[in-house]
Each structure stands twice: as C-alpha cells, then as structure tokens.
Amino acid sequence: MITTVEGVGSWKNGAAGEDNLHPVQRAMVDMHGSQCGFCTPGIIMAMYGLFAPDDEGGGGPPRVSHLEEHLDGNLCRCTGYRPIWDAARSLCVDDVEGAAVKGPCGVSCRECPEREVCKMDCNLRDKKCAGENGLVYSCSKSKVAEFRKVVEAKHGSDWWKKPNDMFPKELLPTAENAAIHEQLAKPLVVVDTSIHNGGTWFQPHTLEELLDLFREYAPAEKGGLKMVVGNTEVGIETKFKHAVYNRMVHPMESIHSLYEVFETESHFHVGACSSLSALQQFCHGLARTNAATDVLHDQSLLKKRTAKPIHDMLRWFASTQIRNVACLGGNLATASPISDMNPLLASMNGRIVLASRPVSDGGIERREIPVKDFFTGYRTVDKKDIEVIERVDIPVVSEFEYVAPFKQARRREDDISIVTSGMRMRLSPLEHGWAIADVSIAFGGMAPKTVMASKAMAAMLGKAFEESTFVEARAVLQDEFRMPEDVPGGQAEYRLTLACSFLYKFYLHCAVELKKDVEASASKGIFPAVPLIPSDEESAIGGFVSAPKPSLCGSQSFPAPKVATGLEGTHLAAVSESPKDASKLDSVGQPATHASGPLHCTGEAAYTDDIPAPENLLHGSLILASKCNASLASIDTTLALSIPGVFGAYTHQDIERLGGDNRMGPILLDDVAFLPVGEKVEFVGQVLGIVVGVSQEIAEKGARAVAVEYGEEEAGKAIVSIEDAIKAGSFWTDFRHEMIRGGDVDEILNQTEVDGMPLVVVEGSIRSGGQEHFYLEPNSTLAIPSESGTNLTIYASTQAPTKTQDFCARVTNTPAARVVVRMKRMGGGFGGKETRSVFSSVAAAVAAKCSNRPVRLTLNRDTDMSITGGRHAFVSYYRAGAVVHDDGTVKLHALDVKLYNNGGCKFDLTGPVMDRALFHVDNCYNWPNFHSVGTPCKTSQPPHTAFRGFGGPQGMVITEHIMDHLACKCSISGDKLRRDNMYTLQDCTPFGMRFGDGFTGKWNVPSMYDQLYNSLDVPGRRAAATAFNAKNKWLKRGIALIPTKFGIAFTAKYMNQGGALVHLYTDGTVLVSHGGTEMGQGLHTKVCQVAAQAFGIPLDDVYVNDSSTDKVANTIPSAASMSTDLYGMATLDACRKILKRIQPIRDMLPPNAKLSEVAKKAFYERIDLSAHGFFALDNDRCGYDWNKERPEDFPPDLPENSWKGHPFNYFTQGVALAEVEIDVLTGDHKTLSADLIVDVGSSINPAIDIGQIEGAFIQGMGWSTIEEVVYADDDHTWIRPRAKVFTTGPGNYKIPCFNDVPERFHVSLLENADNPFAVHSSKAVGEPPFFLGCSVFFAIKDAVTAARGENAGYFEFRMPATSERIRMACGDVISSECISSEQAKFQAKGSF
C-alpha cells in the first residue's frame, strides 16, 4: 500500500470545521516547522514512516536516537532544521527524560543552592526557560514536554498505529485472503504500448524463471535485460543520462536466496536483492552485543567485529529512504568507483556468488569470484550477460583481526564519498612484538574502479606492527596513487592525503583494539607488548563514521509581545482603530504560526505546478546551448517535430512573427528570450527556444532531438573566472564605483608611524565562492491564453510579478493590461526568482501565444541550477593599517580594498550587488581613512543575480578576514580588536550615514557583542578550547564571535514603494492583496497581523489570497528584506482609510458593536469598504548617487559622502558566537554550538523572525562551508565543455542537512529595540542574519590555526571552508607529503 501525505491527514476536513491533522502534522505546524512548505510533505512522510509500526505490528513511537539516525533523507532550505527536530522529538517516548538542565557540576540547575548567584550559561538559560527574567523563552525540551500533553489529549497514546489501521484488510496475509495472495504471487508481464514507450517489465517468482529471462533476453544481440530492484541507479540512468531499456525485470521476494540475510558459523550470507536497510538492521543486531561479556575467542565477539564496520558504513550510505529499497547486488553491479560498500567488502575478502541457467531444462550453475577481482574497469565487472548476482558471502573475522571503514564526503549525510576505504588487518604475536600476518586495503575514489592498495599491502605484509611500518607504507601508497592535477573529479592532492590519513587512522584503531584484546585475554597467557599510542594521538581514532549522530537542541527567547508604534505614528494619518474584543489577544507581536502551515503539512498548499491541468495543456522543455564562446549557426527542429506527441518548437523566429521584442534584462536590456541564429552563445545552457508536447517526457525528448550547430569558437578561451576577466579587462566599466573617505590611503599605508605610534600594515587577498539558491521548488510557469490568444494569464513562481508581466507582454507583443501574472506561493526564492525566473515565464508565454494552448513549463532541478545563476563569487585585494597605541590598544587607521565580482555573461543585478558589497565592506568597524573600488566582471558563466544578502555578506567577509590578519600581525586577540574598533554613536560610515537615534536608530552591536562575550564567558570558552587542543593532536576546536549590520532599503530609490488593496466584507472579515509575494518568509502572515490589529479582529478573519498584477499593479520585487516594511505600511494605510470612513457608523452603534455589524450598516449607507494603500520611504532616507560631486555649499559639519544620499533607512544588527570541531586528518567538521542575538526591533511575529534567523544562519553557514559551486575553468580542466557549471543537482551540490545543524542552537531577540523607522517599530529580518552563519567559517579558521601551530602566522583561508580546504590548510606532515614540491603555497582549487 502507498500512503501519501494527503492520506495522513487534512486541514479543516473534520466535523464542524475541525481539523483532521495527524500528530506529526500538528507537531510541525505548532513547532513552526514549515516556512515555504515545499519540502514539508516529504519530511512529514519521512517522519510518518519512522513512527509507523514494524512489519509485525509492534514497535511504537521511536526513541530520539532512532530519529537522529534515520531522519537523513530530506532537505530543507528555509527553516534551518531546528524546529523540525523539535517537532519530531516531541512525538518520541524518551525525549522528556532528563529535561532538568544540569551544569558541569552535575547538579540540576533548579535545585542548585547557588542558583541566584551562579553565572554559568546553563543556569542563565534555565532561568530564562523557567520564566524568571520576564522574557518569553522556549527551549527544545520544554516545548517537547508541553506538546506531548497536546498529542495525548487529542489523539490518545496509540496514534502511531494509524498505518496499520489504514492498511487494507484484504491484503493482510491471512487464510481469508489466500486467493488474493495466490494471484499476487504469480509471474507478471507488463508492456507499455503508449507513445512514451516504457518497455516491457517482467516479474518472475522463482530463481529459475529469473535466470531463464536473463538467458533469453540479457545478451546484447537479443536486446538486453535490465534488473531493477530499488531503481536507485536505473532511475538516474533513465532520467539524467536518458538511457532506454526495452526490457526490465524485478524479481519477487519469493525468490528467497536473493532476499535472505543470515549468518552461519563462518560467514554472513547476504542476498543480492536484500535491501541495504535489511543488511544494516541485521548487522545492528549483531553489533550491539554486550561488550562487558565479550571474550576474545567468543564467536559472538568476532561476528560483532565483522558486523560493526558494515553497519557503520551503511549508516552514512545515501539516506534511509534509499537504503530501504537499494540492494547490495545493485551496488556491486553498477561498479561505482566511489561506492562505499565495494571497498569494504573487497577488504573483508567478500565473495560474490553468480548464478546462471545456460539451458532451459538444465540446472542452476553457480560461480564464485572475490569482490576485489570483480571490478574490471570503469563501471564494468566480471559478470556474463546471462549471470545474476545471487548473494555475497562475507567471512567472519578471526582473533586479532580488525576491520575499519573510512569515508569522507562534502557532507556527512546523504552524499557520495570523495574517498572511501575498507581496511582489514590480522596480527600475530611474536616473541618481542606483533607482526602483520595479513592485510587488505581497498579504496574507492582513487581510480576509475574500486582498487586494492597492492603495493602498500605488500610493503606491510610480514612487517612489525609499529608506526614506522605504516610510515613506510604511506610513502609507498603515495607513489601508488599519486594522480595528475586534471584527474576526473579533481582534488588530486586531497584524495591522496585522505588515503594516507585513513591509513594512519587504521594503525591507531588497530593498536587500540589490540590493546583491549590483550588486556581481556590476560588469563589466556602472556602476549607481547602493544605499541604505545600517545594520549594526544588517540583523537585520530574513529571519526564520524562510527560515532553516534549528535543529539541536537536549541532555545529561543524574545521580549514579551507588545504592540509598538513605529513609523505609522508619524507617517500615516491618525485614526481610532477598532476596539478589540477583550477576550482576544493582540495580533501584532504574537508568535502566530505561518498562515499556510497546516496546508504545507497536509500537502494541500498549491504551488504553480500543482494547478490542475487546463484543457489541451501542453508541457514545455527548453532548447539549451551545449557550448559557448561560439556563434549559433543553425537550429533544426525537424526531428523533434516528427516525434509523436510533440506539438511545436518555437525559437527567435517565432518571436519575430509575433512582432515581439526579444530583448530582456532588469537594468540593461542585454539579454534575450531566445538567442537568434548568428549571434554569440554566451554561456552553456543559454536558451535557444522551447519544445512543447503532450507530456513532460515527450517535450524533453523533443528538446533533446533538436539539432543545434555552432560556428567556430572565438579566438582565445572563454573567460570563466574573475582572474580571467582581470587579465582580459572584461568589465562593466560604467558600473565601477569608488568610495573615498579621509586621506590618501596609498600615502598613509606607506608610512611606518602615526603620531609617533607604530603603524602595522597588512596586505593580502580573500576569495569567496558562489552559491546556488537551491530553492526546493524549481522555476515553474503555467501560461494560459484566452480571447483567441489576445490575453495571457501567467501563473508563475516568481518574486517579481510585475517584471514577469512586463517581459511576457514585451516579448509576445501583448499589451501589459492584457497580461495578468498571479503568484500564490513559492517553494523558496532567496533572490533567485527576482529576475532569473522571468526568462522561463517568457518562454512559456511565447509557446502559449503561438500555440493558443495552455503551456506548463517547470524546469527540472539540473536545468534550473545550470542556467539561472546564483550568488556572485568575489575576489578582493586589500592593504590595511592599524595603529598600535602605547597601552597596547590597536586602532584601525586605513583601508584600501579592491573588489571584483563574477557577474556572468549578462549584467542582471551585478552592479547593485557590487554596490551593496561596497556599502558593507566596513561591517561594524570604523576606518578613518577608507578607499574601496568595486569592479563588476563579465564572464562566460550564466548571469548571476540576487541572493539573500545581495553582496552584503561578500563585503563583510572581506572585513572580517582583514581583522583576523591584523590581529595576527599585531599579536592581539581578534575579539578585542573587533570590540575596540566598533562604531560608536555619532560615528559615520564611509558613505556618510551617522549612527544614532535620529539617523539610523539605536546602535546596539557593541552592547550585544558585550552581552554574548560576558554571558557566554568567551574567555573561558577559548581557554577550554585551547586546553582541548593541547590534549588532542588530531581534533581541534575553534571559536568565533562575529557581528553584523545590514542596511535596509533598496539602494535604487524608486524601488522603495509598495501598494496594497484591502476589502472589508459585511461579515467582518478582511481580504488583503498587496504587491509582495510569499516565498516562506511569512510576509502574508505578518501583513494579516497588521490588518487584524488595525481592525481589532481575530487573525483568522484576515486573508491574503495571492499576489496578482490585476489587483495591485506596478509592484516591486519582494526583495531587500523590505517587504514587511513596505506592504505592512501600505496595508495599514488602506486599513486606516477604511476605518476613517466607517468611524461615523461606529459612533452611531453601541461601543461593543462587532465589526461585521459596523461593516453591514456602512454598506447600507453606501460607504466604500475597499481602499488602496500606498507607502514610499521618505526621499531623505533612501537612494544614493555614486557619481554626485560634493556641492560647493555643502556644510562642513555633515559627514563625508552624505551629499550623495542616504542609502539605508536603518540597520538590522546581530552578533553570533560559534564553536566548531574539526578532524585534522580528514577535514570533516561539526558545529558544536551557535549562539545568536539579533536586533529585529519590536517584532511583529517573533516566531517567524526567529525562524528567519535560524534559516538564514544555516544558509550562510552552508555558503561559507560545504556549498561549493564548480565550473569548467582553469582549476577544473577535467570538466567539459569550458564554462559549464558542474555542480548541478543535489548529487554534486550540497546544502546543509539535518546532521549539519549546530548541536546547541540558541537564538535571542534583543530587548528594548524599538525602531521608529518601520511599521509597528519592527525591523527587516530576511537577509541580515545570513552573514552570522559565517561565524562557523571563522570558527573553522580558528581551529585550523590551532592545527597549524602557534607559529603558523597569517594564511589566506578561502571560502567556502570545504573538507578539502580544511584538511589541506592544516599543514601537517601527511598533507605536506601529498602536495607536489612545485606548490609551495598550496591552495585547494576553486571557481571564483
């Protein structure tokens, strides 16, 4: 039976309007576990599956440890995962145990006699949780305990049995159902005769039938036969590699030899079709035997040692969902060179049993082959066409035999390995030591196939078990596996370093295990001495593969809710708001759940691709360029149009026939909808046209069939990187901007003293990489023509309805008034759908207009990531100076910085992104003398665009890097340098904005910095980290305390405006339409809170339906974190207009008259109950003219550069402290804790604001650590063609997952932070916290510094801090050996 999210529960589907939510759904809603909601149904189903009873009907709500192990197959880009973890834990049976907080002293904080005076962080947090300081405080354990009561009251204690209750009784294996099961057990053949040509499927129920099918069809000359069990590999081949298999077979589970997993005295026998989860569970049962009763010679201990490495490796193999269906035989047969299990099985002397039936009336023949000999080349194996892998036999280890698995990936969970290994060693005692009697070392990721380290093994065999043997073997290993720089997959030095590091880890593992065995067997006789391992070396043992997954928790605190008056107090006309029902809470200030939360959790929230198909719907697939830097010679659609089901193919010529304007672009019209023949192809994936057909599959098949020819490539290679652009002078020079304050920085930085005090000068560079938006909902459009194609209705997933309307109208030659764009909700945007969603909507509109039929165009994930661009990579060069005062204080003095960003091939928003970087390159620090230049670079990458932070984070990273550089050069604490140089009141930014209440509002960063520094005892934390590092050679901890300020306003003045339309209905409910769009940020919820507060009605009585250009016209994209500021004010303006009109009616009625009564009477009195509201920032609080010269009469007492404008209305501010731990030998890292305090003014909705903070933090952490965008450039010549983006899809591009969340994640909203410059004294929150995630990057850098040693000095640590960069920056002897002598200053390769 298949259960979908709709079958789990629904919203408002019960009696009398009661909801019908399942406890899992209710927990996600109440715990604020959804934002955009697109990933939520999948997460709901993952949790639902984990809570379901087992096959025998037993089980029950799982324990937290079970969730932490298995909630690993889903991604979320919005929430930061913490609220999802809380929701999942709230349904577990064991999470409230130990809810009382205990400190390092071991005493419960609430029972401690020194509670009132204790300043430990644990006690301070627990006092908050107990409500002892007036804050609203919520921690994971308290929420879990409270929600448990809710679940039990509404759903009872056996709610988890629902899957069994829903299961059709006729399918149960009972006597009554014998006839049905007899039918289900029969062999099956299914033939697809449709135009999709899905081939023929066989389902045999005996091994003989299966082998007969392979004999009949598997040989290539007979057409071939593909065996499919879990479809985890074949699905990829058919979807992404467009493989076509005419015949496929899925063996039934009645073929027991294929599905059984069992043990004998000497072996584990694993059926080739048994799921990896079944094997994992089998090994788990064996591996958890009681260590206290284990005896060296006990067979149970030997089986445990055999099972544990298999179990541990499988824990990190893909995800639970994949392991549930994928099989071991398929893993072997596909022969992936980076398989995790294949090297492990090879090292364990596993043997593969192959079965065949050469003749129809003959018996089954079996052949055995060692796993290590099975792989003959890249994805080729020693298996005949007629053979089937029947099982794998794994021998049980013997005494003094040890096995360990190793792997390192870009991300721990659900990721393919960079290098993976299985190592096995058997030791034998000698008179004076131990000898290596047998050794087996296999690697994945070091060659085109799984390989044995034969030379290294030979160098070790028979040698003494001691460190020197492994050092010698390491040298052999380096010669055996050294790879060229252009090796496929890249990372040659890192991969070799990992292999050598794994070998060293294995030595330590064996030494420790041997010591345990010798001690346990003391009664059996006297054994030789075991090599001694220094205590600081033991930190290399193990790693994340065998370690328990961390238990994650968090807390959130915010000031008591209130309704504050902000900008509306001075900007809008005063009016008496409706009296609020005394029994109702205020709406503003309350932590209301997301308005669409229940719909997200039931799957009933509709996204663009969910809109029911209109009659005659066509599906679209884009025709994309496969190379660049050459002209487009021709496009031939003949073959595509001959495919059954293809309706049409449209190119630039069709736009000309429509009389449309092909030009596009948000600032410069330098882009095109469809590239005309004869023009230069400027990036790989540029849109050439669109094919439409009766299904998505047919349209994609048609697009692939279009024949595209290219002219000769232009002279010189394509410009891909910033360095390429600098060498070629490829810039948008008209948009190069410069900022100067103070004196001549060149002259100043050439000095050695300032007023007799030494001037310390540093010089260097810093690079930060790009980032993929990875919104969970790809770009999607439904274009519906009407009135004979003269009108268009566009349903689009876009942040910019008006921009979409404008260009759909322009390109199709349709008046804008006849084009309506509607946007219900997006499954994430993050800036990626501000401009780069428009081209897909235009393509669909062209096809709809030409065909006069509805067209749906939804990009697949790989296509979306290939062509939509992302965050701009930056390269910056700087010189900076600081003055060392007599008392040791270091004060910043001068900064000269040159910024370059990679804009791709079209201008898009590259200039404004660079401008915001220039506005934020100072971060929170005062540079008296300042010079910065920003130069946008033009390359052959796809056009890069807006992304959360919009250049601000890239600018602030530069400053924080410089602060570290100066602190290192001046030999002082980075914490002190930062604090001593923060802006103070009345200081001014380089662009002329003054800090202070009347200018930018309260300046809270210094006090927030002090608050975290003191309350979290940063000096003590650093001392503890130093002590830890001294005791652990191969594990290092690092800490970073990083501030941020983020300017709020569009830097283009005209964009700081917004409109809203409000309808008051006679039943007292309110409908709001506004110019903003909902992408998960809770905009609609906040706007509803503003309107509900104004009218004094319950929040549920206010509704936002969608964003539509026929309701609110000429809108601004939802961006710059400005949406609540604009549309909250515009909505309030409309509400007050209505309130003013109905005031006379209200005066006529009793004071307690309901709004419905007032509205109804006003209607009969012919009073308009609809109003349009509008808001625009004051002229003197937005806009900046870079080119404006200083007026001659400009007052000398005003800040320098302030004559150019006032780019921001105010600053949202914050500080974060992060602590991390790195594995020096692998580069793996984990975030131990993150503590944030953020000034968001007087929050309209603290729950939504905290959700935005957590999500932004994790996204910023991802950008600065594991998210690496890779292009085919000079650093990656193994990728073809040049300029192609390699990191497309979740297989190659990794965003943070559940396991990457800080183990302790605490967020606080600042108290007493009212903001007079925004609605209800709130502040923008979407983008500002993003940079705080970079505190993890700087904490990693601190840990790497510790690994490099006290005398390491300054080093350029490039962003992102991938496992490769971490490992190779540590500078130990192993990594140094693996770097060629020509690379004295090694830097991991990257695309910038």
Judging by beta carbons within 10 Å of its beta carbon (0-12, 13-18, 19+), is residue 1164 exposed, middle or buried? exposed
- Report DSSP state, residue 275: B
Instruction: Please report how the helices 1334-1348 and 952-970 are oriented relative to each other, as an axis angle in degrees rounded to 10.
Output: 30
Instruction: Please report how the helices 23-30 and 82-89 are oriented relative to each other, as an axis angle in degrees rounded to 10.
Output: 140
Quick one: CA dihedral 695, 697, 700, 701, positive or negative? negative
Which of 263, 1267, 1327, 1364 is flagged as catalytic? 1327
Report the C-alpha gap between 984 and 991 in whole angstroms.
16
The number of beta carbons lying within 10 Å of the beta carbon of residue 956 is 26
Number of Cα atoms under 13 Å in the Cβ half of residue 305? 28
Judging by beta carbons within 10 Å of its beta carbon (0-12, 13-18, 19+), is residue 769 exposed, middle or buried? buried
Question: Helix (H, G, I), strand (E, B), or coil: what is residue 1080?
Answer: coil
Contact 542, 123 (CB under 8 A): no
Whether the link from the prior residue into 1360 is cis, omega within 30° of 0, is yes
Report the C-alpha gap between 1062 and 1073 in whole angstroms.
6
The number of beta carbons lying within 10 Å of the beta carbon of residue 818 is 14
Q: What is the DSSP string of 105-140?
A: TSSBGGG-TTTTT---HHHHHHHHHTT-SS-EEEEH
Contacts 24+ apart (CB under 8 A), 146-155: 147/27, 147/30, 147/31, 147/90, 148/90, 148/96, 150/26, 150/30, 151/23, 151/26, 151/27, 151/90, 151/91, 154/23, 154/26, 155/23
- End-to-end Cα separation, the chain, in angstroms: 49
Report the C-alpha gap between 751 and 732 in whole angstroms.
34
Report the C-alpha gap between 536 and 544 in whole angstroms.
18
Compute φ and ψ for 313, nearest 5 degrees. -65, -40
Compute φ and ψ for 461, nearest 5 degrees. -60, 125
Q: What is the DSSP string of 147-185?
A: HHHHHHHHH-S-GGGHHHHHS-GGGSSSGGGHHHHHHHT
431 is catalytic: no
CA distance to 55, 166, 173, 184, per residue, from 176 (Å) = 19, 18, 8, 14
Report the C-alpha gap between 592 and 569 in whole angstroms.
24
Nearest CA to 357 out of 327, 397, 387 is that of 387
- Cβ neighbours of residue 70 closer than 8 Å, sequence gap 6 or more: 50, 320
Judging by beta carbons within 10 Å of its beta carbon (0-12, 13-18, 19+), is residue 1161 exposed, middle or buried? middle
SS3 content of the chain, % helix, strand, coil (to 5): 35, 20, 45
Number of Cα atoms under 13 Å in the Cβ half of residue 552? 28
CA distance to 876, 1027, 1357, 1371, per residue, from 1385 (Å) = 18, 30, 12, 11
Nearest CA to 930 out of 762, 745, 766 is that of 745
Number of Cα atoms under 13 Å in the Cβ half of residue 675? 25
- Give alpha helix (H) positions in 31-103: 40-51, 64-70, 82-89
- Cβ neighbours of residue 1388 closer than 8 Å, sequence gap 6 or more: 491, 494, 1358, 1362, 1364, 1365, 1368, 1369
Compute φ and ψ for 477, nearest 5 degrees. -60, -40
Contact 1229, 1366 (CB under 8 A): yes
Residue numbers annotated as active site: 1327
